[in-house]
Amino acid sequence: MMLSSSRGNSPLPALPGVLASIFSAAIGLLALLTSLASFGRQAEYGYIISPGAGGILFIHLALAGAVGMAIYLQRERGARGLQILLALNALISLLLFVHFREWAGCLFLIFIAAALYYSYLRNSSAPLLLSSGLIGFVIAQLAITTLPYGWKTWAIPGVLFLLAALISLLEGHLLLPGTGRGAGSGRACRLLYALFCALITFAVIALLMQVPHDAGPGLAGAVRPGAALPLNPADDALPWGKIASPEDVRTFSLGESILFQARACEREPCQYLWCSDRDGILSSNQSFSSSGLSLGWHIITLTTADASGQTLRDSIELGVAPPPACSDLSPRPRYYPVDTPCQGAWPNGTESCQQIEVCHPGLDYIVLDAVRCCNGTASSSACAWARDRSEGNNKRCRGLYIIRAFGPDAVYMQGYALFKACCSGYPECTRTTWPSPAGTISFREGFNQSVAGLSCRPEEWGVSAWRSDTNMSENSAVLGLFPAHATINILQTGVCVDYAAALATALRKAGYSKSEVMVAASLGYDLPLLGGHPGHAYNLVKLPGEERYYIVDTTGNGEGINLDGLPHYFWFVGNFMSQPVRIRVFDWWVGYCSKISPDGFNDLGNIKTPPSSEICGCPG
């Protein structure tokens, strides 16, 4: 579109609208090209409009803005050509949206068309520019996921469109320099006027970009470390025939005496039969003690029959571990894996046993929560979700509950620890801030007091950077794994590898074997505008009844697990113009299948990751 003419309005006031259209088109193209895989899948990602559809709508707003500028400049031929182009694109987009059931996108297209028609009837650019500016903020909030971030994405074109609309509305009512009317049309006045408008515009954009936002999770109602899940009213009145002792997924050392006890039946006399899937019949008494169970995991089944002949059956899992396992702890934890080489926890365990801290008794409460969730004696939204998908298998239920509780339900950890990325100089913190916050603990507001007390010594790494559970100033907020108890119970937040290690620790304590859960990683991925990222950590988990592993990603309380394939997204906090911004990172960027590292790890150290054919959602 030409910006100079011997007739019509002066092109100078049209400049904001032209720039707005350019920015809008750039946002739309970038959103579209990075989100093609999202069409028709908006519900999977928790959005009303898919990011791809949002990109198309931004391009339509760019064309609508260009039509508005042509009307303002009284370029009839240009306006007509742009209107035809917009109409054709809108028709094609409408058919595309209908095909992918993007109904909200259809409504926005209709709204843009109505604004275009109204501006055509009024022969005025103001309604079209005004609607384009305002509707962009709504679309950005509903659909944008690939750029910084939410409605802030639209700050630049939105403000420029609104400025262009005001110029159009004021045309003919005020003596505006540069409009070619009145005494203020000299070159110096036009320049001063342009500078004044530019300053106001930049100030408004900066204000919108810098809207305050806590770096912390801002989540209410999270369960405090060590707190038990709410009991169901029937907890004290469990039906007869249930195993009262030991509780599910308890671990005992080889040779340790174990008390077995059943809840008495209502109609005496009763018959009891205790069996182990490994050792056969154990006893026919209501209660007994045994120290002779063999090593490994046992499924203990109790069959009870009362005087009327009614029979009930209950079962638990019980672990018998070799004596060295977790032997440096006194007393030993109630829950720990029978196949762990770990003997101690922080600060005396090996590095892998501190990172995946399966022997720490202070993390037993997570497993107890999972056990009570799955036997029906406790309730929460994570419980309900897990039980609905457990297929009657308690081990599967425990795993799903723990994944959900670290993921979207945010029970044990909340948010993303951008402050750790800053201290270690990672790109999500440093690329969009000047001066660089590398080597500082920036963006720690909104977290707990333990986070507030951390120091930063970038040269340190991992468990060696954690020196005290009570004096936070002795600990350095660097990347690399802290002891699991520190991440979960004290800081209650972390970056991707912290979430992955915490989940692996909890699942291992909850009865998952060394080959059923590990920490894995992608070697690198790309973020729009931020560029390449050095890598991302997550988990590989094999649930009972499944032949393949699931990729599980709870980072920043992300989706966690998708039982139909790959996780759709995780959350992390990026730094946009010195403000922390929560961002969804999608499966098609991360390269869960294509970029996975050849090695993962758990408390046994490094473990070879399975081939993609053994991972759900990855090509065979």
Q: Tell me what the pLDDT averaged over the chain comes to.
A: 88
Per-residue model confidence as pLDDT tens digits over 283-312:
999 999 999 999 999 999 999 998 888 899
- The burial class, CB within 10 Å (0-12 / 13-18 / 19+), for 81 is middle
Q: The whole model's pTM is what?
A: 0.88
Q: Hey, which of 37-46, 205-214, 316-325, 565-574 has the most confident mean pLDDT?
A: 316-325
User: d(Cα 245, Cα 380) in Å, to the nearest integer?
Assistant: 24
Per-residue model confidence as pLDDT tens digits over 316-336:
999 999 999 999 999 899 999
The fraction of the chain above a pLDDT of 70, given in percent, is 90
Helix locations, 425-495, DSSP H: 427-430, 449-452, 484-485
- The residue ranges of every structural domain in the chain are 12-209
Per-residue model confidence as pLDDT tens digits over 95-135:
999 999 999 999 999 999 999 999 988 888 999 999 999 99
Structure tokens that stand for 506 in this block: 């909890």
Torsion angle of the four alpha carbons 263, 268, 271, 276, in this order, in degrees rounded to the nearest 10: 0
The sign one gets for the Cα dihedral 400, 401, 404, 407 is: negative
Per-residue model confidence as pLDDT tens digits over 38-81:
899 888 888 889 989 999 999 999 999 999 999 988 888 888 99
Residue for token digits 């999202």? 38
- Is the pLDDT at 618 greater than 50? The verdict is yes
Secondary structure of 153-182 as H, E, C letters: HHHHHHHHHHHHHHHHHHECCECCCCCCCC
The fraction of the chain above a pLDDT of 90, given in percent, is 63
Of 178 and 196, the one with more pLDDT: 196
User: d(Cα 378, Cα 384) in Å, to the nearest integer?
Assistant: 10
Residues making up the chain, counted from first to last: 620
Residue 12: per-residue pLDDT? 66
- DSSP label of 486: I
Query: What three-state secondary structure class fits 408?
Result: coil
